[in-house]
Structure 1
């Protein structure tokens, strides 16, 4: 015992067998290069965002120099934006009503119920929907969803272009985003939490809903908000399926123009560059940019509020 004590007392601090390794030594040759590249990538994202704002602000100032704010934020009129905002929100809500239950259901199955072989097959299949061009979804809404599903099978009195069809197909398009990210968040929950729930007598469904789902809530919330951002910014589906006329209506069976559809139509070349009509698309684009920014800020706040570290 005395020899052990003497050896322990005589050994310099940090050099004994139980001393923690020194992690603050010299970095490897390539680490500084990698760190610089990552920093430049982050700075480039900020610069691009600032560049987008600069490109939008000048035409917007010219637009509001000719069109009053009251005429822009009005319910009717040539430059009224509220019908566009209302149509965007309506289609987005319909899309989320489709995508959230199906996306989270798919995530729960892939994370908690599917075998390894089934997961390896089904997850790439679900994510494959994200690779389908949005214009294909738009034609699908025009040629199948409206005439066959809504007017035929469901026998609904809907217009050829309508918000309901656009919202349904848009919901299908964002299912892979929600399902994939939510499944990743649920799979990251430690297995010990599931085992503890099973040990208490809970079945698989109770464990999924009361243990895994709350533990992965931050990732699930981020997946939903990211899907929401994707839905708000989608262009081709709504441009083809929802209509090209402003319509401040609460009936999704009617056609209505959305913000992205208005931008696509205005930028089609019929309006001269620098005209009031042309500058209007920048005003709508800036408003859409602000809406998306707010959604992203809410997403970050939710993730930080409910994040759990294991």
Structure 2
């Protein structure tokens, strides 16, 4: 079974305003509500690609109930820990001449609720996959990813971590199966600005020296580079297309990579599917469907690249 963890999930209220003017009444021309959070995004795209997953995390209030219901509608299993107080957050994403976001704070997570989540994670075992994605709310200890991986260490669980800087660096000693920084995040970890593919590969290998098994570096319009545990270095270019929405593209890449690897055991095919899946989500208003992903995979080679 694949499990995802989202510590601070949300409902995302995405609105279009033709010309946002501060201090005035603005009327939307388009609006949608989606389940949000990086781990939840991974679960939805996995479902779209035919892989069942179970979304873990916390929910609070009627917004949390609605979030869970929407994820179920998208084919995801959910097993959220209910919180007695507070409300699952709403994030407002405004698309206008510029994009703006107002993200909610989210509910306080108690020690008892965290212990309940750890009880659910304690049931994972050999052959399971766990995706830890996103930031940590300020009501949780900063080393929560480390605590989870320490608890599950030695159980032959494939753990994927998609987080930034210290959150990522601090878990490498537990040898995650896959980490997915982007090229800017990779440079920030080492205090450098990466200028070339060779430099990206060099620093990806430094993360392997620290314990990561496979390093997938996303590079937006420049594609992705994968450095594998068996020494392979592979780059894919993205299909050509118009970027509509970058939110969720990285999560989609993770879901596509996992699907490709679990289906074939082939890292190169996993990279190809991951790149296509991330691009497919970037080219549409939300997360890509299987049909949208397949359409990109079947494009001729001439339609790939910058």
Larger relative contact order (Cα-Cα within 8 Å, sequence gap ≥ 6): 1
Fold agreement, TM-score > 0.5: no
What TM-score, normalized to structure 1? 0.21
Rg larger in 1 or in 2? Answer: 1
> Structure 1 or 2: larger strand share?
2
> Structure 1 or 2: larger helix share?
1
